[in-house]
Amino acid sequence: MPELAYLLAALAIVFVITLALRAVPFAVLAPLRRSKAVAALAEWMPVGIVAILAATLFAANAGSGGGHLVEALVALAVTVVVHLLGGRRTLLSVIAGTIVFVVLVNVV
């Protein structure tokens, strides 16, 4: 059985490392808020993610003989419309487009 001093030292090390790992993001956060690069990433990353999802969807449909190409195009149109009319909420538009695609593929 380890000695009490050994256990206390191990707990102290774990405490310091845990505290440091949780505190570092907050210490770095203030300078990042003023960064132009982070502002640009915040603006363009959601669009990039949606573009990658759309490209993956169309590539998968093109590789499978285009079996669901019409459904994918309808879902893309719904995604764009919801994105533009819904206040540019990326999550809302992606969920709406995904639901439309799944419903069209499985029900229609």
| Per-residue pLDDT at 63 | 65
State the average pLDDT over residues 8-22: 95
Q: How confident is the model at residue 28 (pLDDT cuts 50, 70, 90)?
A: confident
CB 32 within 8 A of CB 38: yes
Rg (CA), the chain: 24
For the chain, domain boundaries? 1-34, 43-108
| Sign, Cα dihedral of 50, 52, 53, 55 | positive
For residue range 45-81, list pLDDT tens digits in order. 877 887 887 788 777 766 666 577 788 889 889 988 9
> CA-CA distance, 68 to 70, in Å (whole number)?
6
* Whole-angstrom distance, CA of residue 22 vs CA of residue 3: 29
